[in-house]
């Protein structure tokens, strides 16, 4: 991964390489819950929001206060991280008025997951 960063003409890639070059794990946390080490395990010059559901929601709230209202989110592994975010972070953002279900209604965390809805309609227990 690092060899690819070194060949890039991107200023962002070069800065990320400088952070990675001999940096400690602590040095890669460039702001509370903002980790710059994701490029060590996958390509690209990226940073990751890391922490508990509450911590990640708080960081998103801070970005929102700065005027940022759209995010491109990814996680590893993809499916598990989508569940983690949808079930733990989105309800916190919704409670703070920072996210609204596309249909405009309040829902249980599994409401947007098709196979979870099927389980619920078959009598499986759901969250209140």
How far apart CA 62 and CA 108 sit, in angstroms, is 25
For residues 12 and 45, is the Cβ–Cβ distance under 8 A? Answer: yes
Backbone angles phi, psi at 70, to 5 degrees: -135, 140
Q: Percentage of the chain with pLDDT > 70?
A: 60
Domain segments of the chain: what residues?
1-50, 51-102
pLDDT in tens, 36-87: 777 676 666 578 899 999 999 999 999 999 999 898 888 888 899 999 999 9
pTM, 2 dp: 0.66
């Amino acid at each position: 991964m690092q060899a690819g960063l070194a060949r890039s003409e991107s200023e962002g890639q070069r800065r990320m390489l400088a952070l990675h070059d001999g940096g400690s794990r602590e040095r890669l946390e460039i702001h509370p819950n903002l980790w710059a080490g994701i490029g060590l395990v996958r390509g690209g010059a990226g940073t990751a929001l890391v922490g508990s559901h509450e911590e990640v929601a708080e960081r998103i709230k801070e970005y929102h206060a700065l005027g940022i209202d759209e995010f491109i989110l990814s996680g590893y592994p993809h499916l598990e991280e989508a569940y983690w975010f949808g079930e733990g972070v989105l309800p916190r953002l919704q409670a703070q008025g920072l996210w609204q279900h596309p249909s405009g209604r309040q829902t249980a965390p599994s409401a947007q997951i098709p196979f979870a809805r099927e389980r619920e309609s078959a009598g499986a227990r759901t969250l209140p």
